[in-house]
Amino acid sequence: MRRFASIVALAVLAGCATFSEDGGFGAVQRMVKDRTGQDAHWVRNDREVGEVRARTREILSRPLSADDAVQVALLNNPGLQAAYAELGIAEADLVQAGRLPNPHLAYLRVRHGAELKTETAFTLNLFAFLTIPLATEMESRRFEALKRAVAARAVGVAGRTGQAWARTLAARESARYFGDVKSAAEAGAELARRMAAAGNFSRLQQAREHAFYADAVAQLARARHAELAEREGLARLMGLWGGDLAFQLPERLPDLPAAPQQLDDLEQRALDGRLDVQSARLELEALAKSLGLTRATRLVNAVEFGPARVTESPEPRKKGYEISLQIPLFDWGDARIARAESLYMQGVNRLAQVALEARSEVREAYSAYRTAYDLARHYRDEIVPLRKRISEEMLLRYNGNLASVFELLADARLQVMSVSAAIEAQRDFWLADSALQAALTAGPPGVSGADMKPTAGAAMPPAGH
């Protein structure tokens, strides 16, 4: 009995697993901070709701930078808060794995005439006790893998928010420039109408000017809707509604950096830093431990031992112990072993696939980043200045009566279109920059450089003459 009491004492100590103060979220916060520079927050009570609300309002009181938008998303995105709750579920599984199942108490009472017989047994599953360290280690690895998976989701939301911010600013600039196109087209159409009424303009020329004006109106409508759609997408990622939807944004996109990033060992950086690779690696280690546990319990997975007492009236009380175990008569555990081995090989190939995709995605993302930078710089340094010089020369020709007002208007339209294309090129660079950071740290945030598309009306041709 003393030996049994010692075993029970050890079991109680082994089963004293407790919950952490932060539910594992501290590690997630650090990983998100390292990769985004912003703070993640898990809202779990009314006080924290108020704190997050106050901080959000303080950020929204000024024009939102890209970092501000990311910070608001990390504080308010409801999908992230739901993902953070998965940490609590996983930690509960970890704590449960470190605790013994409750002991069994058996009691038998039989009376036959004047004879009374009672049997009492108090048993504990010793096999569960012996496998606690292995089961706890396995659940601990799964918990660590989940932390990285949750952090990867947060970093992904941050990346999508940064991209949505860039698209929203670009859409607003494009809508503003298409408004200029529409104004120029309207002036040309009105002038053509008056000249046609005076007999100085053919109906064909008037129709061309009016058609260009009609196209400009349609393109402006599309551009304004694109601006609204991008802004709504940004608001969804930031978890905003009601009065918070009146948030302000800067007037224009940030300037290009002086030089693009020069990154060496892209593939190794991705394999070392990407959270999805780390998560897949930890999941595979947990599966390997699970396979070891399955092999250990292949034949016998329930051995119960404990003190027993038998009382038979009028005989004296008898004490002893009881052992019960499963007999592997029908199930020899081979099915469980085969299942565990298949799960492990599945994990091996899943890790290989994640690593393969990480290498490929980071190569593609860096190519898109460099291409987008070169194009944006080309528009900024070559195309836009060239269009400006052409417009200046056209204005001189007009002042010297060497060009008509319609030629001047057509050139103004071309200049506006060049500026609009430059805005899109600048937007594409910031999208590619965000996609590259995601490919290095957590995986694609949803839009890669290869998926970038021009905004509405980017290819509208000028009117012919």
Higher per-residue confidence, 216 vs 165: 165
Phi-psi map region of 255: left, alpha, beta (phi>0 left; psi -120 to 50 alpha):
beta
Cβ pair 379, 422 in contact under 8 A: yes
Query: How many CB atoms are closer than 10 A to CB 434?
Result: 29
pLDDT tier at 462, thresholds 50, 70, 90: very low
Question: Residue 183: what pLDDT?
Answer: 87
Indicate the range of 47-51, 272-276, 321-325, 402-406 predicted with least confidence.
321-325
The yes-or-no verdict on residue 7 having pLDDT over 70 is no
pLDDT at res. 127: 63
> Phi and psi at residue 116, in whole multiples of 5°?
-130, 130
Residue 51 has pLDDT above 80, yes or no: yes
Percent of the chain with pLDDT over 90: 26
pTM of the predicted protein model? 0.73
Q: H or E stretch including 308?
A: strand 303-313
Percent of the chain at pLDDT exceeding 70:
79
Nearest by Cα to 130 from 92, 104, 101: 101
- Give strand ranges (E) for 53-204: 104-112, 115-125
**pLDDT tens-digit series, residues 168-191:** 999 998 898 888 888 888 888 888
User: Is pLDDT of 464 > 70?
Assistant: no
N- to C-terminal Cα separation, the chain: 106
Least confident of 16-25, 57-66, 73-82: 16-25
Backbone conformation region of residue 416, classed left if phi is above 0, alpha if psi is from -120 to 50, else beta: alpha
Which own/partner pairs from 57-63 qualify as long-range (CB within 8 Å, at least 24 positions apart)?
Answer: 57/244, 60/240, 60/244, 60/247, 60/248, 62/248, 63/248, 63/249, 63/250
CA distance 174 to 458: 9
The answer, yes or no, to whether residue 200 has pLDDT greater than 90, is no
Q: Can you tell me the distance from the alpha carbon of 428 to that of 454, in angstroms, rounded to the nearest whole number?
A: 9
CA distance linking residue 234 with residue 248, whole number of Å:
12
Q: Is the pLDDT of residue 113 over 50?
A: yes
DSSP 8-state class, residue 462: P
Cα–Cα–Cα angle for 228, 211, 201, nearest 5°? 145
Angle of helix 405-441 relative to helix 384-399, nearest 10 degrees, comes to 170
Edge-to-edge strand order for the sheet containing 318-325?
Answer: 104-112, 115-125, 303-313, 318-325
Categorize the per-residue pLDDT at 77 as very low, low, confident or very high, splitting at 50, 70 and 90: very high
Residue type, position 207, single letter: A
All structural domains of the chain, each given as residue ranges with its CATH number in brackets, are 2-451 (1.20.1600.10)
What average pLDDT is seen over the chain?
Answer: 79
pLDDT at site 451: 41
Residue 339 has pLDDT above 80, yes or no: no
CA distance linking residue 289 with residue 95, whole number of Å:
17
Tens of pLDDT, residue by residue over 300-327, are 444 454 555 555 556 666 566 555 555 5
Q: Are 109 and 250 in contact (CB under 8 A)?
A: no
pLDDT grade for 73, boundaries at 50, 70 and 90: very high
Q: Which residue has the higher pLDDT, 51 or 415?
A: 51
Q: What pLDDT digit, counting tens, does each position of 254-311 carry?
A: 889 998 988 888 888 888 888 888 888 888 877 777 676 555 554 444 445 455 555 5
| More confidently predicted of 223 and 94 | 223
More confident: 237 or 18 = 237
pLDDT at 177: 84
Arithmetic mean of pLDDT, 96-116: 75
pLDDT at 17 exceeding the cut of 70: no
Give the strand pairing for 318-325 and 303-313: antiparallel
Q: How far apart are CA 452 and CA 465, in angstroms?
A: 33
Q: What pLDDT, on a 0 to 100 scale, did the predictor assign at position 10?
A: 55
- For residue 308, the model assigns a pLDDT of 54
Q: How confident is the model at residue 312, as a pLDDT?
A: 57
Is the peptide bond between 78 and the residue preceding it cis, with omega within 30 degrees of 0? no
Say if residues 405 and 394 touch (Cβ distance below 8 Å): no
Structure tokens at 340: 């565990």
Which amino acid does the sequence have at 428? D
Inter-residue contact 75 to 240 (CB < 8 Å): no
Burial grade of 205 (CB within 10 A; 0-12, 13-18, 19 or more): middle
Given a cut of 90, whether residue 249 has pLDDT beyond it is yes
**Among 110-114, 362-366, 394-398, whose mean pLDDT is lowest?**
110-114
pLDDT tens-digit series, residues 144-162 = 888 888 998 999 999 999 9
Average pLDDT of 351-357?
86
**Spatial separation of the C-alpha atoms in residues 178 and 226, rounded to whole Å:** 12
Euclidean distance between CA atoms 292 and 285, whole angstroms: 11
